[in-house]
Amino acid sequence: MFARHFVAFTCLALAFWSAMAGDSTEEKYNYVRMTTTGSTAECAIVVGNASQGWTISSTTQRGLTTLRVTSRYDGADRLIAAIAELTNKEGKKQIARVVVKGDKARVMRDGDNKGQEFDVPSGVIVTSAPDWTDTFLLCRRYDRGKGGKQEFGALWIHPDQPAQRLTFTVERLGKDAIEHTGQKVELDRLAIHIRNNSPYLGWADQQGRMIRLVGLPFKEGTSVDLMRQGYEPSAATLKPQMK
């Protein structure tokens, strides 16, 4: 029974996005991981916007292993479908799919015919590991007018691990400014907690675009230190200690 629904809803989601493609625009963001010897490519995020909805696709490269997470939403920010594709160095691919019906989502992994079912609120953030869709969208969705600590529903999926329904938080701690391409840019400094309550400190511009992200407690050379490509010199002036 579910297999039939799975095919039907997958086809519906694909048809929906095909209809959107004609009037869509794209935003592209590349992030690098800072190391003691320089930087290395970490992930590329593409956001597609259209009159009927939007999509986000994040591709993270670790050596010869690639993880791509893609989610599609309708115009009311309700999740339509999502997929996580893990490709190893031999080119073998593993997949986890999310099929949505109403406010229920079922996560199916290769070899798992039953899957897992979860309640999913409007705007649920679909993410995985290694993946930065979560921190990227937390920076983007933070309501700067409302302020304070804000919570966001999340669905963590992975091709070879059980899915989890989680709640992430983000809170503005203050503001910092950097000099970028000869102009002063104001950034919100954000306390971010994701899966396993892992703490991060993020900086985002006034449009909610993530500029830098560090893992806490921060130790140069060992902690996560991501920067939006092109901001490496200017964002390096930010102090990564929690304030």
Q: What pLDDT shows up at residue 9? A: 44
Residue-level pLDDT at 242: 59
Q: Which of 82, 71, 78 is nearest to 102 (CA)?
A: 78
pLDDT of residue 34: 95
Global pTM value: 0.90
Query: pLDDT tens across 168-179, in order?
Result: 999 999 999 999
pLDDT of residue 51: 87
Question: What is the residue whose two structure tokens read 């493609």?
Answer: 21
Q: What is the pLDDT of residue 48?
A: 97
* The pLDDT value given to residue 22: 56
Cα separation, 154 vs 18, whole angstroms: 25
Alpha helices, DSSP H, located in 31-166: 133-141
Q: What are phi and psi of 183, to 5 degrees?
A: -125, 150
The alpha carbons of the chain give a radius of gyration, in whole angstroms, of 18
> What gap in Å lies between CA 132 and CA 198, rounded to an integer?
13
What is the per-residue pLDDT for 17? 47
pLDDT tens, N- to C-terminus, the chain (243 residues): 444 444 444 444 444 445 445 578 999 999 999 998 889 999 999 999 998 999 999 999 998 999 999 999 999 999 999 999 999 989 999 999 999 999 999 999 988 878 999 999 999 999 999 999 999 999 999 999 999 999 999 999 999 999 999 999 999 999 999 999 999 999 999 999 999 999 999 999 999 999 999 999 999 889 999 999 999 999 999 999 754
